Amino acid sequence: MTTALAAQPSTSSTSGRAVAGQRLEPPAIHAICLDIDDTLVDFTGSARSALSVLTGRDDMWPAWQRITDAHSARCVAGEFDYDAMRRARTKAFLADLGTQLDDEAVAVLEDRRLAQMSRGSRLFPDALPCLDWLRAAGFKIAAVTNASRPHQRGRLATLGLARFFDAVVSAGELGAAKPDPVIFHTACEQLGVEPDHAAHVGDRLDLDAQGARDAGLHGIWLDRTHTGDPEQAGVPVVDSLAELPALLVTDYRTPTVTSASAVPTPRG
């Protein structure tokens, strides 16, 4: 049974710079937690494409997301497992479209959709270079995901990412999802670091960056699509994972860097 670590105040919203005598040196970061979907893996791209193949339409993504979010919450709460959630979600989605199918027909369609999505799954081009740098720079690394652990472990292995992670923490296994502090604290405990010595990077401002900050970590928002105002985010913001190394060496104290780390020029 996992025991959550006590939350520590985070200084991420000021990027660790000295502020009116409050801090004379930037905070030390020893571990990096990373979201998976839409942070390392282009989940939305492959999922939208697979949904379009299933429905023959390209305008159903918002409805699919709404129904998926509701069923995922029930899955995290233990109402059913991941595979049962997928089928129940797809059945509810089709019913909203006016298509009533029995469980067997829904299972066939959902398995077909999932296979299509898996075939289209791809890494963002900046994912591997960033993970290579983090590993060479000496960071401990965890994947923190609101999806199913077996599902994500399989995807990490298929995409060649499993070797980078010291821990994989999933909402489905833990029974707590981001932004619940428990999932962030569990990742820190598995990595052997205090929350204020870890940073979490993800594409969701609310669930990832602000959730991590509120749990005592240093939250960093990956805003690939420039959807928000960096001045209002309350956390450091990067446009791509290619910018993460420069942020870390500029605004934080990091582990001993090796010659293989290729540390970028600090940001001005």
Residues 63 and 76 both lie in one domain: yes
Q: What is the CATH number of the domain that holds 188?
A: 3.40.50.1000
* Residue 204 placed within a domain: yes
Structural domain includes residue 226: yes
Q: Let me know whether 85 and 171 are in one domain.
A: no
**Closest to 184 (Cα-Cα) out of 148, 213, 150:** 213
Question: Considering its fold, how many domains does the chain have in total?
Answer: 2
Q: 158 and 217 share a domain?
A: yes
Single out the residue in 90, 120, 150 at which a domain terminates.
120
Q: Hunting for tokens 């749990």 — which residue is that?
A: 215
Boundary residue ending a domain (70, 99, 120):
120
Handedness of CA 116, 119, 120, 123 (dihedral sign): positive
Please check whether residue 266 lies inside any domain of the structure.
no
Q: Are residues 234 and 246 in the same domain?
A: yes
Domain assignment of residue 97, given as a range: 43-120
* Residue 172 domain flag: yes
pTM: predicted TM-score of the whole model, two decimal places: 0.82
Same domain, 128 and 150: yes
∠ CA 64-66-69, nearest 5°, is 105
Nearest to 117 by CA among 37, 59, 172, 202: 37
In a domain, 111, yes or no: yes
CA atoms within 13 A on the CB side of 213: 21
**Domain assignment of residue 185, yes or no:** yes
**Token duo for residue 200:** 């979490």
Residues 71 and 128 in one domain: no
Q: Is residue 267 part of a domain?
A: no
Same-domain check for residues 157 and 226: yes
Are both 257 and 154 inside the same structural domain?
A: yes
Q: How large is the angle between the packed helices 127-136 and 244-251, nearest 10 degrees?
A: 30
Q: Are residues 77 and 130 in the same domain?
A: no
Q: Does residue 108 sit in the same domain as residue 158?
A: no
Asked whether residue 56 is assigned to any structural domain, the reply reads yes
Kindly state the helix (H) or strand (E) to which residue 251 belongs, with its residue range: helix 244-251
- pLDDT tens for the 268 residues of the chain, in order: 222 223 333 444 434 333 344 556 889 999 999 999 999 999 999 999 999 999 998 899 999 999 998 998 888 888 888 889 999 999 999 999 999 999 999 999 999 998 998 888 899 999 999 999 999 999 999 999 998 767 788 888 889 999 999 999 998 888 899 999 999 999 999 999 999 999 999 999 999 999 999 999 999 999 999 988 888 889 999 999 999 999 999 999 888 654 345 555 444 4
